[in-house]
């Protein structure tokens, strides 16, 4: 069995008869980084929201690492899924420093464990020394890496990235693609990356799947 198994996933928004996803299936091996490619409005973000537990599918199932997240009998809430997500706009807390943003979800750790984890994450995303800065004091690429560190800090089993380059200018994109690829490989993360840009998909992912 694959590490991530999505089978027959269907979904329509609030009472609409038009299905955004209709019988979508996908398998991922552990450590695999795959892109979900497709034009605007085809349901890429919706797929991530279903995996994260922010929407409930009409049909189908999702399992990660042998644990069923959702099927006809089960619905694990988002915080119990072990799924990290980085949104298009990064959704950093503007009033918190980089360090506080990164450690935000680590309330179950002791202060000492939290400090160790923060150090590891800063090193992984190469932001050591920037921990006291607020989001507006960081470049777009640095903000993205803070968002990545925040999603990775609790040790998710699966990471979801929604349009990771949409807020970056073209020049930054090229260097950040390879940086992101290296960070994901170093963390050994299984990752699903939503994008509408085939070049982005091919630069960081070993596999491309399409929706729609």
Ligand X SMILES: Nc1ncnc2c1ncn2[C@@H]1O[C@H](COP(=O)(O)OP(=O)(O)OP(=O)(O)O)[C@@H](O)[C@H]1O
Q: Nearest approach, Cβ of 68 to ligand X (angstroms)?
A: 23
- Does position 42 bind ligand X by CB under 6 A? yes
| Selection from 35, 86, 60 nearest residue 210 by Cα | 35
Residue 41 in the binding site for ligand X (CB under 6 A): yes
> How far is 202 from 195, CA to CA, in rounded Å?
10
List strand residue ranges (DSSP E) for the chain, in order.
4-11, 21-28, 33-37, 59-64, 67-70, 83-86, 158-162, 190-195, 207-210
Q: Is residue 73 exposed (0-12), middle (13-18) or buried (19+ Cβ within 10 Å)? A: exposed
What residues numbered 13-32 form the site for ligand X, per CB under 6 A?
Answer: 13, 20
Taking the complex as a whole, the smallest distance from the CB of residue 46 to ligand X amounts, in Å, to 3
Interaction of residue 196 with ligand X, rule CB under 6 A: yes
Q: Which span sits near ligand X by CB under 6 A: 44-52, 111-119, 151-159, 184-192?
A: 44-52
Choosing from 9, 46, 90, 180, the residue that interacts with ligand X (CB under 6 A) is 46
Selected from 1, 15, 17, 40, the binder of ligand X by CB under 6 A is 40
Q: Which stretch binds ligand X (CB under 6 A): 41-49, 95-103, 111-119, 168-176?
A: 41-49
Which residue, 42 or 142, has its beta carbon nearer to ligand X? 42
Name residue, tokens 């899924």: 81
Q: What secondary structure, in 3-state letters, does 106-159 show?
A: CCCCCHHHHHHHHHHHHHHCCCCCCCCCCHHHCCHHHHHHHHHHHHHCCCCCEE
CB of 44 to ligand X, least distance (A): 4
At its nearest, how many Å lie between ligand X and the CB of residue 158? Answer: 18
Binding piece for ligand X, criterion CB under 6 A, among 42-50, 56-64, 74-82, 200-208: 42-50
Are 135 and 146 in contact by the 8 Å Cβ rule? The answer is yes
Neighbours of 130 (CB within 10 A): 18
**Residue 183 vs 193, nearer CB to ligand X:** 193
44 binds ligand X, rule: CB under 6 A: yes
Q: Is 43 in the site for ligand X (CB under 6 A)?
A: yes
Residue among 45, 101, 103, 144 that touches ligand X (CB under 6 A): 45
Burial of 79 (0-12, 13-18, 19+ CB in 10 A): exposed
Residues found near ligand X in the complex (CB under 6 A): 13, 20, 38, 40-46, 196
């Amino acid at each position: 069995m694959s590490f991530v198994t999505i089978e027959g996933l269907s979904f329509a928004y609030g009472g609409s008869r038009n299905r955004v996803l209709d019988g979508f299936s996908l398998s991922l091996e552990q450590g695999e980084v795959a892109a979900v490619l497709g034009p605007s409005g085809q349901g890429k973000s919706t797929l991530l929201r279903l995996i994260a537990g922010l929407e409930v599918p009409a049909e189908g199932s999702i399992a990660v690492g042998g644990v069923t997240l959702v099927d006809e009998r089960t619905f694990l809430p988002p915080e119990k899924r072990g799924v990290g997500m980085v949104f298009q706009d990064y959704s950093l807390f503007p009033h918190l420093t980089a360090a506080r943003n990164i450690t935000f979800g680590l309330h179950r750790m002791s202060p000492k464990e939290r400090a160790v984890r923060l150090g590891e994450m800063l090193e992984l995303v190469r932001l050591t020394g920037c921990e006291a800065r607020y989001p507006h004091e960081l470049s777009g690429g640095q903000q993205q890496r803070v968002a990545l560190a925040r999603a990775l800090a609790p040790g998710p089993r699966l990471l979801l990235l929604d349009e990771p380059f949409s807020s970056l200018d073209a020049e930054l994109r090229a260097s950040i693609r390879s940086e992101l690829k290296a960070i994901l490989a170093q963390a050994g993360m299984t990752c699903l990356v939503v994008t509408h840009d085939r070049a982005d998909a091919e630069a960081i992912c070993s596999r491309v799947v399409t929706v729609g």
